[in-house]
Amino acid sequence: MVRLIDVPTLQRFVAQRGIERVLAELADAIEAAYARWDEFDKSPRHATHFEHGVIELMPVADARRYACKYVNGHPGNPQHGRMTVAALGILSDVESGYPILVSEMTLLTALRTAATSALVARHCARQDTSTLALIGTGAQSEFQTLAIGNERPLRQIRFYDVDPAAMEKYALNMSEQNLELVPCDSIEQAVSGADLVSVATAIKDRQSLLTTAMLRPGMHINAVGGDCPGKTELDSAVLPECDIIVEYEPQTRIEGEIQGSDHQVTEFHEIVRGRRPGRLSEDSITLFDSVGFALEDHAALNWLYEHLTRATDVDLIPDAHDPRDLFAMLQPPTYGRAASF
């Protein structure tokens, strides 16, 4: 039997456990996976691009379990009442090759993306970080706020989006948090005085939302939205000013802010494993060029499998009396009347 976690099941689980706790536990699980970097069989995701978006497969495996995520990215979907990103995940036992978990991953991806940003902030952002700027208040903004708040003593959130309705949505969702919420009229106003900046927008284009004039010593930047070829959020002149951290360099060279460039980068596992410092000095500007990597999905699916045990088991693999005789399984029963479909 295969454990099935659908949207309502995950909603109930997160509600009972608490979003902040889930984000913290996912960050720890992802950190543990990065600490085992050499144990994984890794590759860039396989992307198929279309006029309206992209569909991707993201596989990764260790000696015990194989994980793969199906995920799309269609920026125009919200205009039609659909999600920009929708995802499904599968976790399999390597020894038998049998799947053990099929899960919704739209919500889980939102959680693990923010958890990864917060984890990098744990290692790279200044300890005295208290002001977060959000550029883009779409689906990721609340998760970024809560996840980073697990790692640093946030007091003020400055936020901006080109869509006023998105800003109203964010303010409403965060209204009960013990935070000073400052809606801003521009990106420049939002990043003014910020210790940490999270940029997460959906426009599939080369943008220059953050420029060198907006940088300040000691700032940490999470660049979350540049996740496919031809899609960036930072002015190219920002990159030489930063110490750049990436998840998996071969993939980020294709899809991230550094796509098509030769800027020197540090893979995050080197920081987790103590081979490189997360921050060279208090005045360094650190940039996490986040594109999302399958290792994080592997960690998230394994965490979910271990913790969410009250789920539906479904029969997706034939249980044949003779594995060589699948034909017999499709024959009418030998008793009674065969069912019609």
CA distance 265 to 129: 23
Pairing of strands 243-246, 265-267: parallel
Please identify which of the residues 28, 41, 161, 227 carries the catalytic annotation.
Answer: 227
CB proximity list for 242: less than 8 A, separation 6 or greater: 221, 285, 286, 287
Q: Judge whether 227 counts as a catalytic residue.
A: yes
Whole-angstrom distance, CA of residue 200 vs CA of residue 202? 7
Catalytic sites, residue numbers: 227
